[in-house]
A and B are shown apart, each in its own frame.
Chain A
């Protein structure tokens, strides 16, 4: 540990500084052992204790003289806090705890060897040990943060040694003030506080302002939630700001300055004061700097933490001792600022850029960045991104590179939703703009802003209404209260948002928000009010549907807004199955009750436990810690358990109840509708065109995923409730709706699915040997499939493609390839499907698009393909594939399966006379399932397009509710907030397994050539132990 108060020479000339630097450089042994430990942000994670432990161990090992323990500022990688670096090896250790101290001393300091476990874990599970090997650091370019983490911020010597104050020396010796301004202008540096005003021009204006007294102010009133760039610089490298300020002061002709820093940055305040004292001690600040006739006196003004004081006129009022309220501009501070004198205000990061510009020249600086945004920008990367921390990147880098490159992507495979940039004044940048270059103009063009550099990543489990509400709540409570639009307007907007979040919103609220927001931006006094509506406006702009879900459906898709949400898992379920409830009951051993809870929402329990993609698990809070509860496996367990114990069939309909509803399609939607209607007391008849019931579940899902007897068992439950399923009847052809009406059916639910494969639309696709994915699966599932041989190509990346590939593999070909035009990251099929396919031997050709089917001997012999590369993002943030010119080649094939999408069978639909939406889908209301025809409802894939079984069952549930009311002549149901679980189960964590239960699977060897079920299911003990992992995060809500 190094004492920061010591004797220091007075540098009374430029030569004295140069000589002093030389001697410091000579005195610095690059081979010496140094442990650099972050002593700023990492303190919150125990860095102080780690430092003490290390010091103790170093002492104990007798290394006190040999090792420097350097307390640095932020080293950037906050996700790994506490972090430290060991020189001269360059090892970068993270998540260090006191217990690691002894090993660090013994292994690394004494033996020079790294400790693998303290390295950074990459995606593939390996560890890297040096900063430069981490993706987090690879894309960075450090100008502002050049010294952060490298030097001891409380020692001016460290700064001087690394060319500190050399920029000042050059400014004082080689350049006139005007030339300094010219240099800064030429560099293209723009204000890093957010507005991006060209710094050199600002200086020029202040220099030209009349007045014998001028002030220079550093705005360090960083207050955005989630932003800590300025803090990082002030804590980690305060002299870089001082040097920039001194250069600026001389350039504009100021002799006095202020650093306005918030008092709740005590380390920053301390480091700045220390730096000022040392600089004054050495003649680098104060009177006659470096022996020249230039003097500059600096003060620290601690701000009380009002966000609005970041606004320059409010900041100046605060320095003057007045209430921090903005005043109208003009006059601009450059004309009349502090105490009416011309004043130049720049942000911390702006000042930190100055010395390097002066030292290295404008061209050096301008070589980085875009046309209008030069240099680098520091961001504090926060939110739902893997690698949080402080990053400095070249202007023009894409958001994708920051979030997915440096940031390591989103936690737990959730989808990226947006990045909130520019703090509460900024706006969110949605996935479709992931490839936007980060610069002032681009961000503004999408309704966001550079701001000071807050970058908060949000994922699909973040509700945008809630997000907007959070930021608006922040700004409205931080409003100074002076101007009406900001003071009252933001509160009114917040109240509207709150109503929406509570399910009390109306659709025209969105118009109101938009028009208010527009006027508030236009008519507020200062930047705070002029930007306050941004988070609301930008989320409405990009996520209107999510707002509408709150308003129309009384649903918070992310499961965040309390009145519209239950528990994360239940909210995550499209059918609203109360996973929280049945997992709790299961954990408590109350299995029957658990099954009943599932059956409240869906009839097909075992089926769903097998085929569902489990969005409930994506939301699970346990997943935020390590891995989510295996909700799907538990549901499957419950269904299978019940089957062995005796299925509790819901009460059958009374025998004399006539069938009043015709359900068309015996897929999951139709079965669900009939089932729920029966529970409501209405008998229906299901008409199915195929010879068997089950729809896609039977026609498309291979038996190794869903054994036929399981499906049959659960369809039988529906039958046992008194529902007749007439197979082989195609409504519209064999029987018309009118006929059915005459037979006494009063209501219809159309759930005919999407059984047609979409065509490749390529030459040669009608050749023998080319087949649609669904047709292929149907043949495999319902018929007797032909054996395959040679090379099979499956075109497409969806779930049907995976099922087709895996099914094909089981029919004996030599090789099965999946050809997909995007990359692995964009594959739409569920991850586990892709993984299982790969494990089973399916091979993948990514970034490969078919061009035409190659013919030989009158049948398909291959597929001409073209290599692709990824371009800009589409609306979901996926990068669009772009062909690589001249990359065509032929992929030989004996059999080609085209699994590029599904379509509804339009022929039958036309016969029903229903109004179609795009792609031939039936148009139905999203929560009453009402169609254009009186008494006709629709749901499932025929409405949604290819979707999932659980969505289909959800549609069936909604349709049943609506049909009942229709039959009773009552108004159709208004959307209701999701029901809270009636089940209150205390957490039973006793006997919980520590990690997620692994699903036992069929051995690879046993899978070949056979359609036996791959996943084997959990046993009772494993299931209960797994259920007990549940954190009961919804408990509070249960007890409300």
Chain B
């Protein structure tokens, strides 16, 4: 770069960019300066003084981690003066540190030990007071040994500046300085979110995972890099194992997605895979009981029953549920099984329940449906508009990025959300709209933007069509009118509109608060309208960014586990496409699109669907109005389930096949930003469990196909050959890199930003959208709006997270958020059980009294089978995307009788 300059370090010339520190310049020159408190993700702390250097013209030594490099600076890192200071720092630290390397967990990884070795400090020459604080083992996940703490502040930096949980800080002064929970409390009583970044950042044995204690030293462990199985962020993980056992999991610091960060689930929630109730053998139902069987027997039975139903009722009497939890390869094979082996397009999966409207809406607006910009772009956005996404809980790592963008980079955050979620604290504009009123809100924002001439005329002119119609429609939605619909003050709408439109780069981030409505497609179209109107597409740090819920929602859709689309969003009703697949698979394929998830269940209830194969899904908890789902599954003639645990759904199964968890098999997940990443086996599978690709191959072959597939990698090769976006992707490439699709060829580097210069459909299409009310509104009988969503600690139907011991200790049961005003009217205190009823069912659940929800609105997470929110939700569907309206239904709330109390206080996040 032209701004580069030179300085002298130890007599050598080094080059640096403006803004670089001396340490960074030295690193670049290949000269490693020792460091203890430095962490690349944190502001320089400059407390350890191990990185001090001598600079010509400076009176004292300076910490190179914090010292800006300057042109012509003359730096020495190797003088006696510098070494004296380093030695003293290490000697002093060791003077208040137990010399117990022989028994310390971190031996071999400890950075203090390393520098003691490098500087030749055998023992501290200082004899003095030491700290003897007792070991803190009060939380489920990690130990804090104060005697080993060197107060480098990395844990505090992570907690305060990265996660922004503010759970720990320095306390006391002088030699008595300690790291402590806020107000000196144990971590459980603080705002700690147990992400464990502190543990990973700790350079000594002061913070260690409980799972590794006593299991060995770093050199005893072997590490496997893989991808997190929880949410759609797709964090890189490093799994450490010894003797066939996982000892700990860390965030992968080399991952561009998470740079080493994780949330509590990724770091500590892996133990589900090692639970004893894993399925280890195939089970078949005999005399109403599921009993172990051989693979041959089980596969044979499935093939026999499916063939029988197909023979009797045609292929469309069968349905296949793939899974957003499963890999691209598995989803590809599942849809191929349905289409090529059975001959039906009745294949869908739970993406239907979360982002079907994204697919329908964005496809219509742009021609393809995915997050337009990478996660990392958020850091540099001048404005971020988050709507319908409780990012810090549902996508914690992206949440951190947003918080950092606001706090570090000065981004303006606009939040539209009925709940006072954590991001409300960070938002300059918080629009608290009534659930289900999003279109009115967005239209009003666009009304302001157009009225005030803030729209991007050039972009509209050159890149879009349909503006006139849009303008005409939104002209009707003045902020004042919108205020009447949404409850958001008109001025607030104006201010937010100006902030969004006025920013140089503005990114929209949304999630299921937008999609899970009967107006889901309309909502998504509105979001797309807003972005196109302001020219926030096809450039960095902008775009429309749907956050995908599960680890592989993006990939399972990409792989074609959809009733109307082949892999790569190629339409089944397009004859040319169909011909391509028929040729590749050597079969003729059905022409009509199949049924969607909710439609499938409804069809099953009606007896039209008679046999079903469900892979890695649990519709009994995840689908809306589960009373109907239960009836549908009970009505099936045959149900086969492929999973790693028995589930609420597998109770209805005739055959259950044991699958492998993410720790045991290979494959690829595609995260929310279209990044295809490998999972790698770290553990042997339990019992006879097999990888899904193998199960599906064997099942296909049992059904008469001749699949000669020997690995997941081969499945990917086959998929890539048929899927242009994945054309250049292979496991071999992914060993060394991660790739964002479109990646059409083997030498293509992947695509960071979509729609640069051109949309897949050519011009972007504005859609004039009118506001419609949700399907069910509160009334006298059911006076509350129920909205549902996730908690930070739990995940989906709890199959995984509720099997994690530590997580379950923190949150053992569900809850319902009730506004204090409503709680008072109900006579309900924190922790009291209430009965929540809708027209479809009722559940009892503990109340969490909080102003996170506005009056007359209640919120329930849907992870808990004991208090299954989806027993209440409505199966009303968006007409286009067929996504159910999880976010709005009407319920009644009353105190449960007899009086019951929650087992423990609910652990609220900030």
Contacts and interface: CB of A to CB of B under 8 A. Distances in A.
Interface string B349-373: 0000000000000000000000000
A491 B49 contact: no
Contacts of B66: 327-328
A323 B170 contact: yes
Given A485-B92, A523-B85, A492 B173 contact: no
A492 B128 contact: yes
B46 A519 contact: no
Nearest to B66: A328
Contacts of A512: 125
A488 B61 contact: no
A489 B173 contact: no
Given A484-B48, A487-B151, A525-B49, A477 B126 contact: no
Contacts of A295: none
B85 A483 contact: no
B128 A525 contact: no
Contacts of A524: 49, 60
Interface string A1006-1038: 000000000000000000000000000000000
Nearest to B93: A484
Contact of B173 (A306, A484, A516, A522): A306
B775 interface: no
B188 to A, nearest CB: 23
Contacts of B216: none
A487 B175 contact: yes
Contacts of B93: 484, 488
Given A327-B46, A477-B174, A525-B47, A482 B153 contact: yes
B174 A328 contact: no
A479 B89 contact: no
Contact of B92 (A327, A328, A489, A521): A489
B45 A485 contact: no
Contacts of A476: 174-175
Nearest to A325: B170
A1012 B460 CA distance: 122
B184 interface: no
Interface in B43-97: 44-50, 52, 60-63, 66-68, 81, 84-85, 88-89, 92-93, 95-96
B88 A520 contact: yes
Nearest to B160: A322
Contacts of B81: 522
B173 A481 contact: yes
Given A327-B46, A523-B85, A488 B173 contact: no
A331 to B, nearest CB: 8
A491 B48 CA distance: 16
B129 interface: yes
B172 interface: yes
B736 interface: no
B67 to A, nearest CB: 7
Interface in B168-189: 169-170, 172-177
Contacts of B60: 521-524, 530
A60 B694 CA distance: 109
Interface string A469-484: 0000000111111111
A30 interface: no
A330 interface: yes
Contacts of B170: 323, 325, 480-482
A491 B47 contact: no
Contact of B174 (A325, A491, A520): A491
Nearest to A327: B46
Contacts, number: 114
A884 B45 CA distance: 62
Contacts of B172: 481
Contacts of B50: 484
A525 B173 contact: no
Nearest to B50: A484
B52 A482 contact: no
Contacts of B175: 476-477, 479, 481, 487-488, 490-491
A495 interface: yes
B68 A330 contact: yes
Contacts of A530: 60
A511 to B, nearest CB: 11
Contacts of A328: 44, 46, 62-63, 66-67
Contacts of B52: 523
Interface residues of A, number: 36
Contact of B47 (A308, A330, A484, A495): A484
A521 B81 CA distance: 12
A523 B49 contact: yes
- With most chain A CB atoms within 10 A of its CB, the pick from B66, B125, B174 is B174
Interface string A317-355: 000000101011011000000000000000000000000
A488 B112 CA distance: 15
Given A330-B68, A488-B96, A489-B88, A479 B61 contact: no
Given A520-B88, A523-B61, A495 B177 contact: no
Interface in B687-715: none
Contact of B151 (A323, A330, A481, A495): A481
Given A328-B67, A330-B67, A488-B93, A519 B177 contact: no
B637 to A, nearest CB: 66
Contacts of B47: 482-484, 525
Contacts of B169: 323
A191 to B, nearest CB: 16
A941 B164 CA distance: 74
A483 B48 contact: yes
B89 A485 contact: yes
Contacts of B153: 482
A519 B68 contact: no
Contact of A488 (B62, B95, B127): B95
Interface in A978-1003: none
A81 B417 CA distance: 65
Contacts of A521: 60
A521 B61 CA distance: 9
A516 to B, nearest CB: 7
A306 B52 CA distance: 26
Contacts of A490: 174-175
A481 B174 contact: yes
Contacts of A477: 173-176
- With most chain A CB atoms within 10 A of its CB, the pick from B50, B81, B175 is B175
Contacts of B63: 328, 525
A198 B151 CA distance: 36
Given A328-B66, A479-B174, A491 B89 contact: no
A490 B92 CA distance: 10
A78 B571 CA distance: 94
Interface string A813-839: 000000000000000000000000000
Given A328-B66, A492-B128, A523-B85, A479 B173 contact: yes
A780 B150 CA distance: 75
Contacts of A522: 60-61, 81, 85
Contacts of B176: 477, 481
The 6 closest A-B pairs by CB, nearest first: A481-B177, A328-B66, A523-B85, A488-B92, A491-B175, A328-B46
30 contacts: A328-B44, A328-B66, A331-B68, A477-B173, A479-B174, A481-B170, A481-B173, A482-B47, A484-B49, A484-B89, A484-B92, A484-B93, A485-B49, A485-B88, A485-B92, A487-B177, A490-B175, A491-B175, A492-B95, A492-B128, A515-B84, A519-B84, A519-B85, A520-B88, A522-B61, A522-B81, A523-B52, A523-B60, A524-B60, A525-B46
Interface of A: 306, 308, 323, 325, 327-328, 330-331, 476-485, 487-492, 495, 512, 515-516, 519-525, 530
Given A479-B173, A515-B84, 20 more contacts: A323-B169, A328-B62, A328-B66, A479-B174, A480-B170, A481-B175, A481-B177, A482-B170, A483-B49, A484-B93, A487-B151, A487-B175, A488-B93, A491-B174, A520-B88, A521-B60, A522-B60, A522-B81, A524-B60, A530-B60
